[in-house]
Chain A
């Protein structure tokens, strides 16, 4: 008898290493490219030498931004994967069901209350994301709504939060100087300081979802099956939402409402490699999200230089056609055939 688990073959076994190399390359290229072009060699020199003339640009501006791309990209992609799996619905993502806009609303509210305090904003975004996630979950739980209805409810709540953000910002224009960029998603505001708050939050979330990835499949089976398989469903669902809130909250604090990534990244990776192992899916989704965000941010910075576009704009222009190609089955199958 051939052992299935021992002979388990993964599609595109090289995808992980390739994505890793691409991510690392893009990380360094994004430190070299910008209003001032710095050759890669000088970037490396500047990273180790505070007296270098490029040190301030590289270490204070571009390094945090490139690191934020990786963190935000992987955070949104992974939280999208967790939500899509948990709700067994491919439409779910933190941007669509209102978790991101909940975090955004919290940023605006906390800014009105506490001014620009970064710690207040970081806690606020997490709380906003977590409360929105719990709200959506509670709606599903107590109304017995189907998973599709849950998404609809999420979309409605997302709009409500967006409207509240607009209302608060219109009344208090000082709390947000660039509302359009915030709502489209931008990494131009990232600094070493903001990264030192948002970064650890996302890092904890990433470790959390990676550990939880082995439990994710169970959450998709439905309460009865998961419980009869010995899982405390309520506890693990709470943990999953908690980590999603850390990821989305941290990402919104750094990049605004970059909503599309959480929807497309898990989709694209899943279409390519299928679902044979959740840990592998989680790692590749994180890498794909990171690489895509780095690439889009790079393009956003150079395409209309010396101005820059919000990264969310580039992500939509690049991601949507590829996404459409994949979701129409033929394209997805052609790519995934091996």
Chain B
């Protein structure tokens, strides 16, 4: 379980995250929602200590922000939205996930090899380990990057828009992978843009507006809270259609934005 207490982030005098308090439970997918520029990515980066912040990020009673970066890397894995397309083979990229566990010479030992193999199996990337990232599709690259984060074997996974720019099939495969990770007991914290997708996948949702957390709870609680319309300008309701891709749908979209 991860908890943030009174988290504040300012960049160049601009207050981007304001007094954020939230709890992210183990074995749950928590989705952070909000319009562009509301501070979603900044919260993720602040949790992983990648940006200077004030406040506390508590994991199992310890303040994550006071740990060394190596200690933190064994607890939290972060997949940013923007990732370079590299000229390296998929397998080597996944190996990098073991960096926080390796000694100075960074040679994989038996334990590292096992962790890498587990990550490859979980993400179904067996066929990609010998392929250069530059020759992979967006979805394949994404799975390799997720495998790298999984090889890190952390309890907490921060994923920043893992489905953006992917075709629908790849999006579904990434969402299913997130559910597998949740079932394995991980704390999955994810930023998503597709509201229907987010409501259908998340166990818990945090809604942000202008750097503040304006509501949080289960998808149903969020719907009852009525803040969705305030933030996005439309409603979201349960979709009762049988075999619908997502179990929620958007309603009352404004005719013009």
Contacts and interface: CB of A to CB of B under 8 A. Distances in A.
A226 to B, nearest CB: 8
Interface stretch (A4-12, A71-79, A249-257, A316-324): A4-12
Contacts of B106: 214-215
A231 B80 contact: no
A220 B117 contact: no
Contact of B50 (A4, A227, A276, A277): A227
Contact of B84 (A8, A221, A274): A221
Interface string B103-133: 0011110001100110011000010011010
A173 interface: no
A229 B73 contact: yes
A150 B87 CA distance: 19
Interface in B61-86: 69-70, 72-74, 76-80, 82-84, 86
A114 to B, nearest CB: 39
B76 A228 contact: yes
B92 interface: yes
A2 B77 CA distance: 25
B80 A224 contact: yes
A4 B77 contact: no
B87 A218 contact: no
B88 A275 contact: yes
Interface in A217-240: 217-218, 220-225, 227-232
B108 A5 contact: yes
A6 B95 CA distance: 12
Contacts, number: 101
A272 to B, nearest CB: 13
A194 interface: no
Contacts of B69: 227, 230-232
The secondary-structure label for the interface of chain A is: loop
Interface string A33-60: 0000000000000000000000000000
B162 interface: no
A70 B132 CA distance: 30
B142 to A, nearest CB: 13
Nearest to A212: B106
Contact of B105 (A214, A217, A274, A277): A214
Contact of A225 (B80, B92, B116, B126): B80
A1 interface: yes
A90 B48 CA distance: 31
Contact of A218 (B50, B96, B120, B130): B96
Nearest to A230: B73
B27 interface: no
Given A5-B108, A5-B117, A88 B86 contact: yes
Given A1-B117, A217-B93, A229-B99, A270 B78 contact: no
Contacts of A277: 92
Interface in A78-92: 88, 90
B91 A8 contact: yes
Interface in B151-186: 152
A9 B91 CA distance: 11
Contact of A230 (B72, B88, B93, B117): B72
A13 B82 CA distance: 35
A3 interface: yes
B89 interface: yes
5 contacts: A218-B96, A220-B84, A228-B73, A274-B89, A276-B89
Interface of A: 1-6, 8-9, 88, 90, 211, 214-215, 217-218, 220-225, 227-232, 270, 274-278
Please name the 8 residue pairs, one residue from A and one from B, whose CB atoms are nearest each other, closest first.
Answer: A230-B73, A230-B100, A214-B106, A228-B78, A275-B88, A230-B70, A5-B113, A229-B99
